[in-house]
């Protein structure tokens, strides 16, 4: 169980993401991220933590505490493509999520029909 600084640094290394890329993808200023990673031990605002966590594909809870919730553990057991689908779908508004859900249901019906022959 590490600090935000340690967990952020670890995730950046694990995912192979550069600080400048994290800044661009999250909308959090690069200098601000540098401060989180420096000895200053800065703690992000909730908005910044959420943005960073979304880019890294982890929960804010994990970044802050180093522990995953039960839900995070379940999601981490999914394949990378399913995790990406979930991450993207989570960012959609409700009507667009409903469209995606309907598409998935149609694809499943098609697959079932093909298997039934």
d(CA 18, CA 108): 38
**What pLDDT shows up at residue 95?**
94
For the domain spanning 4-76, the CATH number is: 1.10.260.40
Domain ranges of the chain: 4-76, 80-116
Asked if residue 84 has pLDDT above 90, the reply is no
* 96-107 residue pLDDT tens: 999 999 999 999
CB contact at 8 A, 12 and 22: yes
Q: What's this model's pTM, rounded to 2 decimal places?
A: 0.59
Q: Which of 69, 71, 42, 54 is nearest to 15 (CA)?
A: 54
**What pLDDT shows up at residue 70?**
61
**What pLDDT shows up at residue 87?**
80
Q: How confident is the model at residue 40 (pLDDT cuts 50, 70, 90)?
A: low
**What pLDDT shows up at residue 19?**
96
């Amino acid at each position: 169980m590490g600090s935000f600084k340690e967990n952020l640094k670890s995730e950046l290394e694990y995912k192979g993401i550069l600080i400048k890329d994290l800044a661009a993808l999250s909308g959090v200023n690069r200098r601000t991220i540098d401060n989180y990673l420096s000895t200053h031990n800065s703690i992000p605002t909730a908005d910044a933590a959420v943005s960073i966590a979304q880019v890294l594909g982890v929960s804010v809870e994990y970044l802050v505490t180093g522990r995953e919730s039960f839900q995070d553990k379940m999601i981490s057991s999914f394949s990378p493509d399913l995790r990406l689908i979930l991450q993207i779908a989570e960012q959609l508004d409700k009507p667009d999520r409903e469209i995606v859900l309907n598409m998935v249901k149609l694809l499943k019906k098609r697959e079932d029909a093909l298997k039934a022959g």
